[in-house]
Chain A
Amino acid sequence: MSHSEPRVTKELQELTAGACDGDLSDRETARLEALLLGSAEARSYYLRYLHLHGELHWQQAVAADTSGPASAATGPSISLPAPVVSPPRRDRVSRLRLIGFLASAVAAVVLLVLAYRALPDRQPAPQPPTVPVAEAKLSGAVQPRWQAGAPAPAIGQAVPLDRPLVLERGTIEITDPSGTRLLIKAPAAFRFAPGGRLELQSGRVAVLVTGTPSFELALGGASVVPESGTIGALIEDRAAEVHVFEGSATLYRTEPIGGTLQESNTALASGEAARWIVDTTSPLERISAVPTSFPRQLPDRQPDRSVAQMRSLVTRHSHLIHHYTFEGTSRVEKCRDKQGSLHLTEAVMHGGRGRGLVDYTAEGIDLTTEAIRPHREGQNGNEIGSALQSEVRFHCPQAMTVELLLKYELPTDVNDDSVALALATRDADVDCGFFVAAAGEGYLSLLLDADADWLEMDMQFKPDHWYYLAVTFDTGQEDTIVSAYAADLTAGQRQLQPLVVDEVVAGVPAVSRLGIGKGFDYAGAHAYPWPGSIDEVAIYDAVLDQVTLQQRIDVLLP
């Protein structure tokens, strides 16, 4: 290796791993190719890593093919060419004509048998810990996120039996062998027991019975057997409820009857519901069934009004120059500028000594999107964390609009009253471009000249609310004309609110790397991470008017 060749860098390792995972973008593939062409050491690492990847792939393929009699009979998945594909030699055609079929068939069998016998490692490969399974299967899911460590099923797989399952996000559908469907909405904790019994510890479930009922629901010290139709059940705040929307169900429970505790059967018909305190013998309380409180079907992945619709509208705008949707299966793809070439990279705060990870699969405002969530925490009076910034400097156009969706969370550090930046640049101790900031207990603010006063707007972020924000900049020689608009999406605000219109702000946007979920301190170090989630950042080289921006809200909110 020559001295000029690079070593095995972290970038090479990540790209090689990405190649194995099959999720390299074209740009990443080109980058990997350049690294490999430039270094024999890189190629050696790549080939050894790919060899390992291939060995693991091959071993598991063989193990899977030899794991059962059915598959063993047909040999490995990598099939061998049957001799029938080869034309017989001409001088033997006449002789083979009568026995050709039989010969070919025999040869094919010989090939398969020999190939199978010659395959390596017929001893069963080590398997993951086996989990006993019920016959009920996970038949559908929308944006599920299971608690780490739980033996969670994949779509089409059987639901693990007798194991606690915690659904942190999303909605799932489970279908039992009789065709009865269960819709469970997060957050929920439950367990499947043998014999078709779902033990609900918390959360909401709807049971849609079809065919012969063969299912039992256990919750709060009682059992419910749905007989027909659709029922809902929930456990929240130590209270358990059963609602019958259509059909009927029977509730089995121990209750005080005539001064003694007795097993009781309570029939619930359509429109009826019952409520009791979990794990007590307190009397049942009759209430009205509320069908809207329970999932009746999996959510629509592509609703007419959604972030996906807004994204589509944004993409079509002729003045769009940078677009960060944070969608994709890889970190690199999520950090890719979908419109220009101002791609993002991860940055850790406080002189590169920050900690915590950017969450690249943070929950978005709806099911058509995923957001990013920078990390922010206090350390010795400083706020440190991780967020994103552009790989190269961002030259702000003279006329510019930035828009984004964001959620503000109260910092966990009670003494944390410092600035949080969602979009920012900084070129020097004075020249900055804090385009979207939260300052002074969460007030939307911006700053272009560090020696000037902040432009603090009359909008305080409500914790955990999603907002649509747009800020326009018309840059002059020494100052900038700014307008800002916002809508509290979580509150259902459908009309964009002008916060400031044509306000003259001292300074001009600084040229530097673009921070998303972070900014820069006076010395240019990473600083001011955003406490919350950020999504759909779009930058235009024009000042968009309120009517145009309102169109985003019109297609966004259901």
Chain B
Amino acid sequence: MGDDHGLNSSPCIPSVSPPNENSADQKAEQFARLLATCQRKVFLYALGLLHNATDAEEVLQETNIVLWRKFDEYEPGTAFDRWACRVAYFEVLKYREKAGRDRRVFGVPLIETLAAEAGSVLDEFDDRRDALEGCLAKLRDVDKALVLQRYQPGATTRGVAETLGRSVQGTRKSLHRIRASLLTCIERTLAAEERS
């Protein structure tokens, strides 16, 4: 894999030598490489369980810290991303306890079920991302502009609606329509690739 596209490495199996116990720098470098390859995956995994991007980012941060603390327990050569997702799972459970004091959150049975089933989606997450890029390119300019505006960091649907002078409800419907069409496009692309 190239350095510029580290997250494209699907298996997340380290391609460098195991860390030298006598070198903190090498350990840090090794950790950084492994961590960087799995950030997106862990984020997507946590988002599927929490359905809130801000919550998922917080869980990702906590997961990163735990991964670093427990890095000595990691067995080189095994799938780092699966280990990271397992750690993230427990961080999600901890986070839901905290968040559940303020609002309704998914119960543990559903989180367990979703965690077990998220793997099939995550296994093809590189293919899905590639398909998404192609599908985004096919969107009408106005739809592309709307979806990109919505996903700017810190943006909200209400904020985008106010910016565009549209109703929140109408903007929400438009976004759902665009996401639904992207999802259909992704599924169709993956199915076509599978056939070929």
Within 8 A of B (CB), among A296-332: 329-331
Per-residue contact bits, chain B 102-142, to A (CB 8 Å; 1 contact, 0 not)? 01111101100110011001100100110010001100010
Chain B residues close to A by CB (< 8 Å): 3-8, 24-25, 28-29, 31-33, 35-37, 39-40, 43-44, 47-48, 51-54, 56-57, 60-61, 64-65, 67-69, 103-107, 109-110, 113-114, 117-118, 121-122, 125, 128-129, 132, 136-137, 141, 144-153, 156-159, 162-170, 172, 175-176, 179-180, 182-183, 186-187
- State the CA gap A26–B105 with chains docked (Å): 8
| Structural contact, B39 and A78, CB atoms closer than 8 A | yes
Q: What 7 pairs across the A-B complex have the smallest Cβ distances?
A: A146-B165, A118-B6, A118-B36, A26-B104, A107-B28, A128-B145, A60-B151
Interface centre among B7, B103, B104, B117, by most chain A C-beta atoms within 10 angstroms, is B104
Residue from the list A19, A30, A40, A128 in contact with B51, Cβ < 8 A: A19
- State the CA gap A61–B150 with chains docked (Å): 11
Question: Which residues of chain B are within 8 angstroms of A59 by Cβ–Cβ distance?
Answer: 151
Q: Secondary structure of the B side of the interface?
A: helix
Interface assignment of A459: CB less than 8 Å from any CB of chain B: no
| Structural contact, A168 and B165, CB atoms closer than 8 A | yes
| Structural contact, B8 and A120, CB atoms closer than 8 A | yes
Least distance between A331 CB and chain B CB atoms (Å) = 5
| Structural contact, A33 and B110, CB atoms closer than 8 A | yes
Residue from the list A40, A50, A118, A154 in contact with B48, Cβ < 8 A: A50
Do A118 and B179 contact each other (CB < 8 Å), given the known contacts A43-B117, A168-B165?
no
- State the CA gap A536–B118 with chains docked (Å): 43
| Structural contact, B104 and A30, CB atoms closer than 8 A | yes
| Structural contact, A55 and B129, CB atoms closer than 8 A | yes
Do A118 and B165 contact each other (CB < 8 Å), given the known contacts A37-B109, A47-B114, A54-B56?
no
Interface assignment of A36: CB less than 8 Å from any CB of chain B: yes
| Structural contact, A13 and B144, CB atoms closer than 8 A | no
Q: Name the residue of chain A whose CB is nearest to the CB of B176.
A: A17
- State the CA gap A146–B159 with chains docked (Å): 13
Least distance between A93 CB and chain B CB atoms (Å) = 12
- State the CA gap A271–B105 with chains docked (Å): 61
Least distance between B128 CB and chain A CB atoms (Å) = 6
| A-B pairs under 8 A by CB, number | 234
Residue from the list A21, A54, A153 in contact with B47, Cβ < 8 A: A54
Chain A residues close to B by CB (< 8 Å): 13-14, 17-23, 26-27, 29-30, 33, 36-37, 40, 43-44, 46-61, 64, 77-81, 83, 85-86, 96, 103, 106-107, 110-111, 114-115, 117-120, 122, 125-129, 141, 144-150, 152-154, 157, 166, 168, 329-331, 357, 359-361
Least distance between A67 CB and chain B CB atoms (Å) = 10
Q: Name the residue of chain B whose CB is nearest to the CB of A125.
A: B148
| Structural contact, A51 and B121, CB atoms closer than 8 A | yes
Least distance between A41 CB and chain B CB atoms (Å) = 11
Question: Which residues of chain B are within 8 angstroms of A96 by Cβ–Cβ distance?
Answer: 24
Interface centre among A19, A30, A107, A157, by most chain B C-beta atoms within 10 angstroms, is A107
| Structural contact, A126 and B148, CB atoms closer than 8 A | yes
- State the CA gap A157–B154 with chains docked (Å): 13
Question: Which residues of chain B are within 8 angstroms of A78 by Cβ–Cβ distance?
Answer: 39, 43, 57, 60-61
| Structural contact, A47 and B153, CB atoms closer than 8 A | no
Q: Name the residue of chain B whose CB is nearest to the CB of A51.
A: B121
Residue from the list B25, B117, B170 in contact with A44, Cβ < 8 A: B117
| Structural contact, A154 and B159, CB atoms closer than 8 A | yes
Question: Which residues of chain A are within 8 angstroms of B64 by Cβ–Cβ distance?
Answer: 80-81
- State the CA gap A359–B167 with chains docked (Å): 8
| Structural contact, A144 and B165, CB atoms closer than 8 A | yes
| Structural contact, B179 and A20, CB atoms closer than 8 A | yes
Q: List 12 A-B contacts (CB under 8 A).
A: A13-B176, A20-B179, A26-B103, A36-B113, A50-B48, A53-B47, A54-B53, A56-B179, A78-B60, A80-B64, A96-B24, A120-B5
Residue from the list B6, B29, B48 in contact with A119, Cβ < 8 A: B6
